[in-house]
Structure 1
Amino acid sequence: MKKVSLILGGLFLITVLAGCGKNEKSDSGEQVDLKLAKESAESLPKEDTGENKSGMMEKLKNSISKGKKMKCTYKISDENGATEVTTYAQGEKYKTEVNLGQMKTVSVFDGDVMYSWSAGQKVGTKMAMDCINSLDIKNEATKEADGEASLNKDDDNFADALSGAENLNCEDAGDVDFSIPDDIKFSDQCEMLKSQQKILENLNK
């Protein structure tokens, strides 16, 4: 379960940040997220880069820049077995499915809010990007990002982040179901973070 959470967190940063690149809003928090996303992708096993992969990455970049619907699949292997990942992109919406054995975890970003849940479960989590950006969090990563040149935010980010994935395959996609299940109760993770932040602030007074 911990493995899936780590994978999902890293992969979701990759997909969401491609959408963030289309927004006019820009702050140090988003810069940190983009940096973490690229680091997550770079940690995936790499394979030799050939003409086929290079051509596929160019197609992916061009398709996303034109607003086309895309589907990318890849695998992550370790001593515990192989984890299959599928990511869909359509405009500013993104969906990631992680399959580990019999367990399937899904995350959907609708342009404003990220929803995550496990198949067969009636509880999940949600996190609004506006809420996250409103948090007054100044950690070392944020300070470092403040001192660095702003990272480019465009449609190449999504393709570049996936370029190091193992067994990567991207293709045009049909209609993608980005709907959020209405029978799942989603807890607001950002509100929980706000509450914890207030508690810490009171303790430091």
Structure 2
Amino acid sequence: MARWEPNTAERLSQAALELFAERGYEQTSVIDIAQRAGLGKTTFFRHFQDKREVLFHGAETDDWLTDAIAEAPEGSTPLEAIARALDAAGAALFTLPRRSFIARRQAVITANPELQEREALKNLRLTTSMVEALKRRGVAELTARVAAELGALASSIALERWSRSNAAVEFATVAQHALEEVQSCASQR
């Protein structure tokens, strides 16, 4: 691949995922990833701080979630606003053409404690962003925290189910069902 081709970050992520799956996370270097993508090490570091970050694209996820929460119709419950955020994540990130990549990414993360830790930190950041977005809508802090935690749990369940499925079902549909299940479980005594 020529160095000037577009989608450099995506190419690096794809190359990293392939190498992590082939060789293992520990046995793959930044140079290996850059070479597989047809790029140099300097280009890698223009896009990512280290090899852990190559599978965790940054703040745009926060933006999709918080924008969707902010744009929820007036009078929406906190969980309805969270549902809109899950829909936005599905439309932007968890698309059917990307499902194979996402499933392989999840398998690599599951197999590597260092990546599991990074995933957990990312999920905490996203949950915090949802809490803050709900609070800006006037939701009380405890209610915002509970709604965001339930949304994060539903998202995690949905991602696992959706990435393992062969059905042509959109992530948003799976996420809405998971959110309903989580909400139902939370309201049981």
TM-score of the superposed pair, with normalisation by structure 2? 0.25
The structure with the largest helix share of the pair is 2
If asked which structure has higher relative contact order (CA below 8 Å, sep 6+), I would say: 1
